[in-house]
Amino acid sequence: MKKAAIYGASGYTGLELIRILLNHSNVELTAVTSRRFDGLTVAEVFPALSGLTSLKYQNATPQKIASVCDVIFLALPHGVSMDIAPHFVGAGKKVIDLSADYRLRDVKEYESWYVPHKSSSLLSEAVYGLPELYRKQIKKSVLVANPGCYPTSIILGLAPALKDKFLEVSSIIANSASGASGAGREPQIGSLFCEVENGFKAYKVGKHRHTPEIEQELRILAGKKFNITFTPHLLPVKRGILSTIYATLGENISLERLHEAYCSFYAEEKFVRICPLGEYPNISSVCGSNYCDIGVCIDKRTNRAIIVVAVDNLIKGAAGQAVQNMNIMYGFDEDAGLCNVPLYP
Amino acid sequence: MKKAAIYGASGYTGLELIRILLNHSNVELTAVTSRRFDGLTVAEVFPALSGLTSLKYQNATPQKIASVCDVIFLALPHGVSMDIAPHFVGAGKKVIDLSADYRLRDVKEYESWYVPHKSSSLLSEAVYGLPELYRKQIKKSVLVANPGCYPTSIILGLAPALKDKFLEVSSIIANSASGASGAGREPQIGSLFCEVENGFKAYKVGKHRHTPEIEQELRILAGKKFNITFTPHLLPVKRGILSTIYATLGENISLERLHEAYCSFYAEEKFVRICPLGEYPNISSVCGSNYCDIGVCIDKRTNRAIIVVAVDNLIKGAAGQAVQNMNIMYGFDEDAGLCNVPLYP
Amino acid sequence: MKKAAIYGASGYTGLELIRILLNHSNVELTAVTSRRFDGLTVAEVFPALSGLTSLKYQNATPQKIASVCDVIFLALPHGVSMDIAPHFVGAGKKVIDLSADYRLRDVKEYESWYVPHKSSSLLSEAVYGLPELYRKQIKKSVLVANPGCYPTSIILGLAPALKDKFLEVSSIIANSASGASGAGREPQIGSLFCEVENGFKAYKVGKHRHTPEIEQELRILAGKKFNITFTPHLLPVKRGILSTIYATLGENISLERLHEAYCSFYAEEKFVRICPLGEYPNISSVCGSNYCDIGVCIDKRTNRAIIVVAVDNLIKGAAGQAVQNMNIMYGFDEDAGLCNVPLYP
Amino acid sequence: MKKAAIYGASGYTGLELIRILLNHSNVELTAVTSRRFDGLTVAEVFPALSGLTSLKYQNATPQKIASVCDVIFLALPHGVSMDIAPHFVGAGKKVIDLSADYRLRDVKEYESWYVPHKSSSLLSEAVYGLPELYRKQIKKSVLVANPGCYPTSIILGLAPALKDKFLEVSSIIANSASGASGAGREPQIGSLFCEVENGFKAYKVGKHRHTPEIEQELRILAGKKFNITFTPHLLPVKRGILSTIYATLGENISLERLHEAYCSFYAEEKFVRICPLGEYPNISSVCGSNYCDIGVCIDKRTNRAIIVVAVDNLIKGAAGQAVQNMNIMYGFDEDAGLCNVPLYP
């Protein structure tokens, strides 16, 4: 039984970590922090969790939290995580950071999209926490940089095709749409019900910060440097990301061969499901679970592959993947705490 | 390890039973039936369950299904269940019927609201499957009549107050609202997305078939005969029932006393949560779980109690309660398979 | 051609006034005020209105606005309207106040639910702006207190039955549900998409500020003093209020007689539609329009009337009714600018 | 005053035509047909229209309808329109067909995507009813083929860039998402609330029938033959289409030049709004109106244009555009009946 804590547990990602860890049989959740909710119980802030935990939010230092946990989840904004993570690494704790701070291996790239880096010396210890690609490294790591939600969907969606050199990489376009929980729980006009409901729009067109993270991993998979186009959209749902990815195929790639490449790449993966030929995923079939569903198609008229990927942004796109990483780090069953069947309908 | 089967598993209630039973550690799901989907796998019909089960829908006789199960869940329309249940009872199986067919103790009452009864001899064996009221009888029964979704919310919402004689029973009004999954998965215009979304309406005003079921149980609790007014509404959500119940109070009942009565009535109940004073439930805090949340208020200006109750109509209002009943019948942990934390947000 | 201005036009009610007035053939919209958006065009704040107006938000004094308008709509919070209205009344302008400040005739009642009143001398000039009840007085008034959204639905829903003495007034219970636009456009956690979507809850149970306003008008209609129970709920929709109202009937009132009373009471009213017997309104059938739809039923088993009423809270419940009042004040066609067909689906 | 009729007026498109024509000051709606609802009033089928029209659905022959109208709108399924249209054309009526039957100039292309054509002799008389491109021809035509909803968004979104030869046409990818009203009002499982709500999925990937229509018009604009990739998705909203269109730019096209090309191409168009630089449309800003909003961006890292387009699929994507075409055919104000301000929020 390991002791886990969550630093910054008052947002939707933190809440989702609590939800999952409360049902995890190898872990005891010992502390959750929040400045805003200091002194309140989790159930007071989130009545959905009433009766499930008596934990109280604390506004506590990393030192204090480190003394009561073996593993820490950081559900903090980028720029803040890198202030906090070194304390836990230094104290010999396992750290799973859900911010962007340790995802980019190139400090300059990070700084050109985010803010000045204050913890670059730790970057070399960080492992990009996508289990399907980095399971071995995660197993040995002490600092996991948990992937972004959009990157999870796009990297998993392209990995088999890139590995097999099926695609003209410069043609890759990822058109993604996310539920509103991706924008967090801060009150702002753009996140109000009346602004989101019945709406659909693109945002941060050509400049979303997940772009360099996606490119970093796609380049590693393809073994060469290139840029992609990535356009996020805001869906009027709470949860779920669907990424529809386009890329020109090399010559003579049949749909059967493409589909087979995906099936075999993910054959041993518990949380990736490849749709049967001719079928495509729906976010409503993954939400509430750690699944990533992938459907593949070839548009023969233009010789393009169309890859459609669905994840729950809060689970496989954040908290679920973080717990999956923890499971790997400790040698627990990889699906411990993550067996939820999608909540459909 | 008991073997369970579901007769009529192609609708939303059947699907929810599958979802729950797949994660139940004391039960193996051995068969699911459907006429419409005969020969298809569950995953072909519901891709959300892909990778979780290889079960196929069968169009099979009760006899055939009885040979592969210890306990049978009937997720059939009223009028059909009573054709099927006797075969299973006769074969010595435990039966949990989710239709209305065995809920009303008075055959004439049943027939005046539904259809002629074809299995009235079994009525005396049936137990109304509301664990919080009938746990002992459920434990010994072979045929459980699983309560309706609206009745579950209203009966649980009134039981403590009726038991303590706090209310003028002739003043009871239950104003309820349900998500669209309550209408089932049959294609009909009124259930289309474009008809339900952004809408809210009352339906079957003054004549919903759950009325006699609610009254039967409230009368038992109050020890006298009376009628109630019950008005269902259709919410633009998939899941969830909220019942707002009004009743004139007897003299000198304070809010503290009322609240305390609820807390103590349900003190040992795992799935009923009483909100703190001044707080009221939200369906979004129970959906995805077997919880029933209850908030109580007194409108001092009119001396009325206002009781607000939330359940997930597919879980505590149907499939979850059915599994809870099965757990009781077999002496399993009462929350086996039912530990899901509400999916919030 | 009259000149109209809106004081406090940056919220949803102000926006709705702009929408309606832009299509009003007897009125020119000359000014809109906002502190927050001072200097921005309406189209910059609300791209939906792009191309329809070149108006800019001003942070202007009442004096300045009074110089450019004949009629002023105040879409301000309660407590602020009463600071502003006297300036316009003093300047000889017609004032339509959408706040609660001039709705209650009894200052003490106002102060016990709201804040100290700073403009009580104007109360005697104010007319409660429900055209179906006060058309003559509105025609002559210079200060209209535009009704609240919930009160509009409940008062219109009960007026015919109260006028005809059909009801035991002490038994009246109004169970209402509103879309999220009723909470305004201020960023707050409770109004976030992820908090509202898929949810349904009661709020301010037994203590909503619309209670005294409803009671004031019902008492006038009934000719006696009594209290009601009123419970508001929050619907996961943008627009729409549905009120389901319960009251015990006097003796020997048939459904036909009740229905006929409603049909004849509203026979000349353009914006009130009585549903055919056996049918009930849906908010989706009125949203986008100034209609108030009413359905009536008798629950014979308990001798209760059940009245169901639907309005668009932003139109008949606020901005539409305000324009209807203006039309009456100026002798325009009462439906000028208000001919929109409900946006269904 | 012209007399208009609608053939096939029981679906969402037919209903939207009724909504619009009821408020059109140059037109009287004289007849609406439906097999299913024969004999019912429009208000009985759609209570939202109660009080606005006393029209009854008829199951009438084209001959009978032709005798009471000057212009006929055909809101029929493809394959049926071509049975009906010739009767009206033969009777000297103006015909606006909302099906696909007269949109494709190449009969073989039509037959390869749809069914055998039974009215190909009329194709040469048909004009593709996109006013922004074919206003002059529409003015003189007797048979307008009203564009599909997706094609409207994509063709309007690409016209300026194609006319100015800014794009490598073989790189065009259109990623579109539509509200559920696009699937019509036929009861089918996939259109149920519980299947659509909270979901998002791609459908008919690589094989949607709007593909040849889009390509036909884009090829005319570009002056050459090429194929595009088009992927439709299903949004959990009632109304609205958002198309996000990608294409590689020729050399040295600046964002300012691109934006200016759009502004000037549509400078005289009442119903096309170009977003300011850096802003992108939201379906919630056009729904309820005949607007088409367009935002343009250049992804400099990949030298791709990203064009985002929003329309209300039932209005500019169907019924509104049909009325706009009628207005042009008769020389009415082009926005007659179409002045609705978008219903936001």
In angstroms, the separation between the Cα of residue A324 and the nearest Cα of chain D is 25
**Interchain contact, C194 vs A12, CB within 8 Å:** yes
Task: Among A112, A146, A180, give the residue marking a domain's end.
Answer: A146
CATH label of the domain that carries residue D161: 3.30.360.10
pLDDT of residue B179: 98
What does the pLDDT read at residue C157?
Answer: 98
Residues on chain B touching C177 (C-beta within 8 angstroms): 177, 200, 233
pLDDT of residue C137: 98
pLDDT at C93: 98
Residue D336 inside a domain? The answer is no
Inspect the interface and report whether the beta carbons of D345 and C181 lie closer than 8 Å. yes
Read off the pLDDT of each residue in C122-128 and give the average, rounded to a whole number.
97
Determine which of C203, C208, C282 to mutate to test the interface with B (most B C-beta atoms within 10 Å). C282
Tell me: do A72 and A176 sit in the same domain: no
User: Is B193 close to D180, i.e. CB distance below 8 A?
Assistant: yes
Answer for the pair D156, D172: CB distance below 8 angstroms, yes or no. Answer: no
Q: Which of B124, B146, B168 is the last residue of a domain?
A: B146
Half-sphere exposure of C158 (CA within 13 A, CB side): 33
User: Residue B309: pLDDT band by 50, 70, 90 thresholds?
Assistant: very high
Same domain (yes/no): B173, B298: yes
How many whole angstroms separate alpha carbon C286 and alpha carbon B166? Answer: 40
Q: How confident is the model at residue A13 (pLDDT cuts 50, 70, 90)?
A: very high
Expressed in percent and rounded to 5, the helix, strand and coil fractions of chain D are 35, 20, 40
D135 inside domain: yes
D198 to chain C: which residues are within 8 Å by CB? 198
Structure tokens at B196: 């339900």
pLDDT digits (tens, 9 = 90+) for C249-302: 998 999 999 999 999 999 999 999 999 999 999 999 999 999 999 999 999 999
Residue B192 sits in the same domain as residue B97: no
Residues D189 and D135 in one domain: no
Residue from D293, D13, D297, D8 nearest D179 by CA: D13
Distance CA D314, CA D289 (A): 9
Are residues D39 and D133 located together in one domain of the fold?
A: yes
Tell me whether residue B78 is in a domain.
yes
Taking an 8 Å cut-off on Cβ atoms, the answer to whether C279 and D343 are in contact is no
Note whether A185 contacts C198, CB cutoff 8 Å.
no
Confidence label for C320 from pLDDT (cuts 50, 70 and 90): very high
Q: Which domain holds residue D23?
A: 2-147+316-330
Q: Judge: D200–A242 Cβ closer than 8 Å, yes or no.
A: yes
Q: Which of C69, C149, C287, C292 is catalytic?
A: C149
- Tell me how close the Cα of D10 comes to any Cα of chain B, in angstroms: 12
pLDDT of residue B44: 97
C221-233 per-position pLDDT tens digit? 999 999 999 999 9
Cβ separation A173–D173 shorter than 8 A: yes
Given A69, A149, A275, A287, which residue is catalytic? A149
Q: Are B172 and B155 in contact (CB under 8 A)?
A: no
Question: In this complex, do A188 and C193 lie within 8 Å of one another by their Cβ atoms?
Answer: no
The number of C-alpha atoms within 13 Å of D43 and in the hemisphere containing its C-beta is 17
What percentage of chain B carries pLDDT values higher than 70?
100
In a domain, C335, yes or no: no
Give the SS3 label for residue D193.
helix
User: Can you give the pLDDT at residue C22?
Assistant: 97
Determine the pLDDT at residue B143: 98
Specify whether D217 is located in the same domain as D288.
yes
pLDDT number for residue A228 = 98
Strand partners for B304: B248, B299
Q: What is the pLDDT of residue C73?
A: 98
Question: In terms of CA atoms, which chain A residue is nearest residue B239?
Answer: A345
- Is B48 within 8 Å of A342 when comparing Cβ atoms? yes
Chain segment D16-29, per-residue pLDDT in tens: 999 999 999 999 99
Alpha helices in B7-60 (DSSP H): 12-22, 42-45
Q: Looking at residues C305-333, what average pLDDT do you find? A: 98
Mean pLDDT across A29-53: 98
- Residues B220 and B203 placed together within one structural domain of the fold: yes
- H/E element holding B54? none
> Which residues on B lie below 8 Å from D189 (Cβ)?
185, 187
Residue B166 included in any domain: yes
Q: Can you give the CATH number for the domain in which C112 is found? A: 3.40.50.720
Q: Using the 8-state DSSP alphabet, how is residue D154 labeled?
A: H
Burial class (CB in 10 A: 0-12, 13-18, 19+), C223: exposed
User: What is the pLDDT confidence band of residue C112, given thresholds at 50, 70 and 90?
Assistant: very high
CB contact under 8 A, C206 and B298: yes
pLDDT digits (tens, 9 = 90+) for A168-193: 999 999 999 999 999 999 999 999 99
Q: Does residue D339 lie within any of the structural domains? A: no
Distance to chain C for D15, nearest Cα, Å: 8
ipTM: 0.97
Residue C61, H or E segment: none
Mutation for testing the D interface, residue in A299, A308, A309, A311 having most D CBs under 10 Å: A299
pLDDT tens column, A225-240:
999 999 999 999 999 9
Are D281 and D162 in a shared domain?
A: yes
What is the pLDDT, as a whole number, of residue B237? 98
Q: Is residue C14 part of a domain?
A: yes
Residues B167, B132 share a domain: no
Residues of chain D with C-beta less than 8 angstroms from the C-beta of C49? 341-342, 344
When the pLDDT of each residue in chain D is averaged and rounded to a whole number, the result is: 98
Into how many domains does chain D fold? Answer: 2
How confident is the model over C203-224, as pLDDT tens digits?
Answer: 999 999 999 999 999 999 999 9
Tokens standing for residue C176: 């209402």
Tell me how close the Cα of D192 comes to any Cα of chain B, in angstroms: 4
Q: Residue D116: is it exposed, middle or buried by C-beta count within 10 angstroms (0-12/13-18/19+)?
A: exposed
Catalytic status, residue C149: yes
Q: Let me know whether B11 and B111 are in one domain.
A: yes
pLDDT at B280: 98
Asked if residue B155 and residue B140 are part of one domain, the reply reads: no
Q: How confident is the model at residue A51 (pLDDT cuts 50, 70, 90)?
A: very high
Q: How many CB pairs under 8 A join A and D?
A: 157
Q: Is B239 within 8 Å of A279 when comparing Cβ atoms?
A: no
- Residue-level pLDDT at D238: 98
pLDDT tens per residue across span B245-283: 999 999 899 999 999 999 999 999 999 999 999 999 999
B50 CB-side CA count, 13 A? 23
| Predicted structure pTM score | 0.98
The partner residues of C248 in beta bridges, in order of sequence, read C304
User: In chain D, at which residue ranges do the beta strands (DSSP E only) sit?
Assistant: 2-7, 27-33, 57-58, 71-74, 94-97, 126-128, 143-145, 173-178, 201-202, 229-234, 241-248, 272-274, 292-299, 304-311
Alpha helices, H only, chain A: 12-22, 42-45, 62-66, 81-90, 107-113, 131-140, 149-163, 193-196, 210-222, 255-265, 320-330
Q: Which residues of D are catalytic?
A: 149
> What pLDDT score does C24 carry?
98
Same domain, B116 and B29: yes
**Which residues in chain D come in under a pLDDT of 70?**
none
Give the residue from B42, B50, B52 with the most A CB atoms within 10 Å of its CB, the best one to mutate. B50
Distance from CA of B199 to the nearest CA of D (A): 11
Beta bridge partners of B173: B229, B246
Q: State the nearest Cα–Cα gap between D195 and chain A, in angstroms.
A: 7
- Asked if residue B122 belongs to a domain, the reply is yes
Q: For chain C, list residues whose CB is within 8 angstroms of any CB belonging to chain A.
A: 12, 180-181, 185, 187-189, 191-198, 236-238
Which of A46, A50, A344 lies nearest to residue B48, judging by beta carbons?
A344
Give pLDDT, residue A295. 98
Residues of A in contact with B55 (CB under 8 A): none
| DSSP assignments along B109-163, one per residue | HHHHHS---S-GGGGGGEEE--HHHHHHHHHH-SEEEPPPHHHHHHHHHHHHHHH
Using alpha carbons only, give the angle A69, A75, A78 rounded to the nearest 5 degrees: 130
